[in-house]
């Protein structure tokens, strides 16, 4: 097992914060050389960095995950995000955060994910929605597993007649006539919504101009779906920011008319973190 020293840990943490939890392929190859390890060993060594992004005021159980995208060669960090005074079912799990981070930032084929604790059943189901689920290695402190070893007799998209999958679904070409940013429109088109058709995405802008995005990622088992608000708050956390302290300029949620289902849960999560933050809500 490769262990990084505290100086290297701080160095990588700073890089990750600036890139919102994305470790570019060039940095990955520099680090594997510097640490004299292979990429999977690096994924596991970086779990200590990923877990630093965890915000776990309820459990104090700090989970990190590091996903690898075969196409870009990048690593994508993730960490758990808990909301005090909200239903436990609304938390974002570290594996969801890492996969969401990869997806938001253009990854297409996650072939391995390292986690510093065994994935819960909910996360095994979330990962089963990936286009690469059949070719996914899960790197745990106890060894390396395939998803099918950890999730036998699975229930997946095909059981509901859904031929698409997360990271390999069609991108909508819908016109969006709303006074919102082009970036938010683009994230809307990428939302993965085979079960409700609610194309939905969120944008959070800070007063310093930094913008973060979230998309709705549905799941065949419904409950492990990641809401666009949780998706964007997880992205904010991967920049080392917490919503209750961040200098927020605006938060926008957009949904498809007739299929909308996200406003009340988004409002609930925001209210629990910071009561007076207005939510801009559009349907199109």
Active site residue 95: yes
233 close to 90: Cβ distance less than 8 angstroms: no
Compute the distance between CA of residue 262 and CA of residue 60 in angstroms, rounded to an integer: 28
Sheet strands side by side (includes 22-23): 22-23, 75-79, 64-69, 110-115, 137-140, 143-146
CB of residue 126 vs Zn ion: minimum separation in angstroms? 7
Q: Among the options 95, 129, 218, 255, which is catalytic? A: 95
Interaction between residue 56 and Zn ion (CB under 5 A) = no
Among the listed ranges 36-44, 99-107, 116-124, 232-240, the one in contact with Zn ion (CB under 5 A) is 116-124
Contacting residue, 52, 93, 187, 256, with Zn ion by CB under 5 A: 93
End-to-end CA gap in the chain: 51
Contacting residue, 27, 37, 117, 120, with Zn ion by CB under 5 A: 120
CB of residue 93 vs Zn ion: minimum separation in angstroms? 3
Compute the distance between CA of residue 275 and CA of residue 264 in angstroms, rounded to an integer: 14
CB of residue 119 vs Zn ion: minimum separation in angstroms? 6
Facing residues of 212 across strands?
Answer: 204
Shorter beta-carbon distance to Zn ion: residue 80 or 252: 80
Nearest to 63 by CA among 135, 123, 130: 123
CB of residue 142 vs Zn ion: minimum separation in angstroms? 16
State the catalytic residues: 95
The footprint of Zn ion (CB under 5 A) covers 93, 120, 122-123
């Amino acid at each position: 097992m490769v262990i990084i020293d505290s100086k290297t840990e701080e160095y990588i943490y700073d890089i990750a914060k600036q890139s919102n939890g994305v470790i570019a392929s060039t940095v990955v190859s520099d680090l594997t050389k510097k640490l004299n390890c292979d990429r999977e060993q690096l994924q596991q060594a970086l779990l200590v960095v990923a877990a630093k992004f965890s915000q776990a005021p309820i459990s104090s159980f700090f989970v990190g995950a590091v996903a690898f995208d075969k196409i870009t060669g990048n690593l994508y960090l993730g960490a758990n995000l808990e909301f005090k005074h909200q239903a436990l079912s609304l938390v974002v799990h570290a594996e969801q955060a890492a996969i969401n981070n990869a997806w938001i930032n253009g990854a297409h084929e996650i072939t391995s994910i390292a986690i510093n604790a065994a994935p819960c059943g909910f996360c095994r189901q979330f990962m089963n929605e990936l286009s690469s689920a059949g070719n996914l290695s899960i790197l745990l402190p106890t060894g390396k597993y395939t998803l099918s070893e950890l999730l036998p007799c699975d229930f997946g998209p095909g059981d509901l007649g859904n031929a698409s999958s997360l990271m390999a679904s069609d991108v909508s070409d819908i016109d969006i006539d709303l006074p919102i940013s082009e970036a938010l429109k683009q994230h809307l088109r990428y939302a993965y919504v085979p079960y409700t058709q609610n194309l939905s995405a969120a944008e959070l802008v800070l007063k310093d101009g930094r913008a973060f995005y979230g998309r709705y990622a549905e799941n065949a088992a419904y409950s492990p779906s990641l809401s666009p608000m949780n998706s964007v708050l997880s992205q904010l956390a991967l920049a080392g920011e917490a919503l209750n302290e961040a200098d927020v300029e605006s938060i926008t949620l957009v949904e498809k008319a007739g299929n909308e289902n996200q406003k009340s849960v988004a409002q609930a999560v925001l209210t629990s973190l910071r009561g007076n933050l207005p939510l801009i809500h559009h349907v199109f």
